Structure 1
Amino acid sequence: MTGLPAVVARGSDFADLARIMKQAGLMQRRVGYYAARIAANVVMLAAGAVMFVMLGETWWQLFTAAYVAIVLTQFAFIGHDAGHRQILKTKRGNDIIGYVHGALTGISYGWWVGKHTRHHTNPNTEDADPDIDIPALAFSEDQALEKRGFLRWTAKYQAYLFLPLLMTQAIMLKVGGIESMVRRDIKAIRLEAALLVGHLAVYLTAVFLVLSPPQAVLFVVVHHAVMGVYLGCSFAPNHKGMPILPAGRKVDFLRRQVLTSRNISGGPLVDFLLGGLNYQIEHHLFPSMPRPNLRRAQPLVRAFCGERGVSYTQCSMAASYAWVLRHLHEVGAPLRARSVAE
């Protein structure tokens, strides 16, 4: 998908917007909010642990698996915010929170921060954004035509396979962290390895100690499938189907972030469900802005973009998913056409 301006606008636009955000006090830390948010997550996780122990060996535990997946996704949102230094002023303080939340979710914090930073630097940019470099999916016709073998088949029908593929995302995130440790391309590798081993030991011991082997295996499958779908449904609507920048394309920072991002409209419930990622435009412009401030920043950013003639995209949650699926289906069309021709 294209639609980016041919002329690069003046770089002072973002500086002007940044001054507005600072004057409105929206870059100030919200430690109280995060303390309450983390405490609530801990209570929810503790409730899940109590429910798990009390239910014991029963197939009803599959509902516990889904519940734990939802709660741990909320923990992942806090880890995301820590990675952007939204919570505390110091990098060390945010990293401590991030590593703890990474240990609870089983996702390597150091690996994820590096990957996510590359995404923020070059959103929807070919050969630079890791979030559009996914083997099983294609986000442009060029990507689709480059696929071979089984991956070509998945790209052909990717709109139909999107939900099943999302079910694998929690596992793939854990695998990505493990691969980075094997390659030794992350910092604090000993700490990360110890946290991962600890997570797996506690998690698997608890599951197989309380449940029968078949129940335990299915518990793990349901937990990771639900968590994968939840994470995917939180991140996918933000950029998929938005303009993709060719490698090396020069676009100023404000337009690079705004034109490749999409906001999801809704009230406090949507804010909670999506961990603040529904304000994707504001988040990409100001990654270190605390999550609760994004709602206040949104009308200011939208008005600013309107004044500067920058297209600002926002739609409902349902419309965003339809947008994503429609885009994936269109990208796979050349492959389906070739199959018919052959």
Structure 2
Amino acid sequence: MPLIVLMEDDAATRMLVASVLKKDGYDVLSSDNGADGLALVREHKPDLVISDIQMPVMDGFAMLQALRADPAIAEIPVILLTSLLERAHMRIGMTSGADDYITKPFRPGELREAASAQLNRREMRAVAQATAVEAAVTSALEEQKHQLARLYEQKLAAGLSEKWPESEGGTEDEKFASATVLFVDVLNYAALAEKLTTEELSETVRKFYNNAGDTVHLFGARHMQFVGEALLAVFVNSTDTLSVNHGLRAARAALGLVDAAKRVQKYLQAQFPHHKLPLFSVGVALHSGPVALAKLQDPLHGEIRILPVGDVVNATLLLQKQASNAGWTVVASVPMLRGITGAAQTGGRAMITLPGRTQPMDAAELLSLAV
């Protein structure tokens, strides 16, 4: 309900104006002088001020000057009531910052029209300002999104360089007696590639792996690299993560990747509602044991590249494929689960046959963590 502050020293006129405004549904606060009226404006921040010019204590011109000088109330529209028919006084009122004036005597319809016009103008101005602000914020957020996308790979490279510095000479392998390997692959990737353009598929995969990279970093992976459209990460114990072992951190990362895939699925549903796309989902495998990070020199560029090697790495890749075929989203080998005993909530358990290996692997579906 719009609030109007009325300033009028003549009691009969004040009662008439207030009665007309209240009948139209406005709330009205009244004062018989400019000083008290200005105090009401400062206290209540009304939507409109209607003021007589000739008043005791503070006249309408002085009140208007003080109102426009106060940033907290300067934008409130003001209609002046005057019985001064001379053009000079009208001109003074308008040049002093009045938005409109009504000469006395006036008809109730004139008052209604003037008040309605100012309130509508104020509302339109507020809507226009809000629209402009929203447009500016949207533009800024869009630009920020593109900047973050452009900077992500640079920051990721810098982060890898700082977090995983190369040793002197760059040829000595790193060997870990106990590590957890995480392998995540996008399921239905081929089916998505058939339905989406190259640009759409690139944007979709980028959305997931930008988030995936952040998740893997968050839980302290020692190394990560892409294998086609899949991602391989190695978690080890280190001085800054001794309180949480590598298996538990890898399990948290795996569940975080599943959540990231669900967010991408929502994006696809919103972006391509009529494409009838296959479900965007991932399969994740976790396995623990000895791992080496072999340092290989790139013969073309002379750079040192890291390659995770060992039976654990190979078994993790095979485990992910077989478990996904069985409908498990996150599969963990029993050796890995033993390292987080009491923390893992598991589903089915099975001896999974891995292609090319003589012995099946004892593994279980990881559902959640108790901590």
Q: After TM superposition, is the score higher than 0.5?
A: no
TM-score for the superposition, normalised by structure 2: 0.21
- Higher strand proportion, which one? 2
Structure with bigger gyration radius: 2
**Higher helix fraction (1 or 2):** 1
Query: Normalized against structure 1, the TM-score is what?
Result: 0.23
